[in-house]
Amino acid sequence: MASLTLDGLTKSYGDVAVVKSVSLEVRDGEFLVLLGPSGCGKTTTLRMIAGFVPPSGGSIRIGDQDITRLPPWKRNAGLVFQSYALFPHMTVAQNVAFGLEMRKAARSEVGPRVAEALRLVRLDGYGERYPRQLSGGQQQRVALARALVIRPDVLLLDEPLSNLDAKLRLQVRLEIRALQQQTGLTTVMVTHDQEEALTMADRLVVMSDGAVRQVGTQSDLYERPADLFVADFVGRSTMIAGTVTAPGTFRSDGGLVLTCPASAPLGPATLALRPERLTMGLAARDLDNHVPGTASFVSYLGAMLDVHVRLNGTDHVVVQIPNKADGLAPAVGDTIEVGWPASACLVFPREAA
């Protein structure tokens, strides 16, 4: 168990840089998630940590040891793949024992440790089966046991839940998180699923185009997104294009004049609003910003309603309201007053978009 440090890690194929100087510190026992759309460089970063992709520049350290040039088999990293990657010709027990065998562990030690690892993933008694006789979720747990049994310095998870069906995914992600906390393993997981990332991580790293956009906790990313990309990628936002004309004043391209935090820099900007921070009806009148509009679309989400409100020819917002049985659900075409406090405005200079 140890910390993991990436320092200026870079990967280029010819002129194309797929990972651009990524520097990260994963603390001992921390669960870090690399989150981003496909092609953002998160998987390449993970594969560099595992040793399958040689970096073009920068370094990787586990604790104090520089592992940048070490081959995968000398890194002591436990790896779990999207496809599980079990050895089809070996039994579950043989799969789990493989890493111990490679480490020349004593025969008397292998049996108990394999049994312990299988018990950890709740698969005791499955040792003699072959992978093809197990369900997807069970195979995934074998893969996890196989990675854990070698007591790795870091645990690397490459989209481990993508091949599971939706219901199982919810269960397995809690299991993985519980196991990680129980073992105290320094863990890096790659995913494109933000909900998965938000539920499992201690800290998250949002990547796009090979670069780190923001590193932080769930609330850091949601409440204080570093740029428009993060605001758009993590959670939902509606965007209003315009200009910050004076400190604390935003004029939209559609002509709305809105109050925003005074810290927003002057110049062309995009204003992002989280749907649940907006209010409708009479209560809206007391807020910093209140604008009349027309409901253009209402989507029923069960516990919540999404109300799309057109404010003028250019600007529109989405308001999320709880679905209360008070008969106040707006209908398409209704005139609605929408309001929100200045603090709900996330303003990003246009260049950054």
Partner 1 sequence: MMADGRFAGRVALHGVAYLTLGFILMPLVFVTWLAFFAQEIPSFPPEGYSLKWFGAIANNRNFVTGLWTSMQVAIAATMIGLVLAVPASLILARRQFTGNAAMSQFLLLPLVVPGVVMGTAIYVFQIETEIATGLPILGSLGGLIAGHTLIVIPWTVRLVTASLAGLDRAAEEAAQSLGANQWTTFFRVTLPAIRPGVVAGALFGFVTSFGNLEMSLFLVGPGRITLPIAILQYLEWKIDPTVAAVSVLQILLIAGAMIITDRYVKLARVV
CB 195 within 8 A of CB 164: no
User: Between residue 35 and residue 74, which ones bind partner 1 under the rule CB under 8 A?
Assistant: 50-52, 71-74
Tell whether residue 324 is a contact of partner 1 (CB under 8 A).
no
Tell whether residue 77 is a contact of partner 1 (CB under 8 A).
yes
Q: CB of 92: closest distance to partner 1 in angstroms?
A: 14
Tell whether residue 83 is a contact of partner 1 (CB under 8 A).
yes
Tell whether residue 85 is a contact of partner 1 (CB under 8 A).
yes
Tell whether residue 115 is a contact of partner 1 (CB under 8 A).
no
User: What is the DSSP annotation of 97-108?
Assistant: HHHHHHTT--HH
Phi, psi at 309, each rounded to 5°: -120, 125
CB 10 within 8 A of CB 39: no
Cα–Cα distance for residue pair 23/44, rounded to 1 Å: 14
Q: CB of 143: closest distance to partner 1 in angstroms?
A: 8
Cα–Cα distance for residue pair 160/169, rounded to 1 Å: 9
Q: CB of 47: closest distance to partner 1 in angstroms?
A: 9
CB 245 within 8 A of CB 266: yes
Binding span for partner 1 by CB under 8 A among 139-147, 200-208, 211-219, 308-316: 139-147
Q: CB of 94: closest distance to partner 1 in angstroms?
A: 10
DSSP state of 26: E
Tell whether residue 88 is a contact of partner 1 (CB under 8 A).
yes
Q: What is the 3 state secondary structure string of 118-171?
A: HHHCCCCCCCCCCHHHCCHHHHHHHHHHHHHCCCCCEEEEECCCCCCCHHHHHH
Q: CB of 74: closest distance to partner 1 in angstroms?
A: 8
Closer Cβ to partner 1, 78 or 225, answer by number: 78
Closer Cβ to partner 1, 79 or 321, answer by number: 79
Q: CB of 77: closest distance to partner 1 in angstroms?
A: 6
- The neighbouring-strand residues paired with 205 are 34, 215
Binding residues vs partner 1 (CB under 8 A): 50-52, 71-79, 81-89, 98-99, 102-103, 143, 146-147, 150, 156
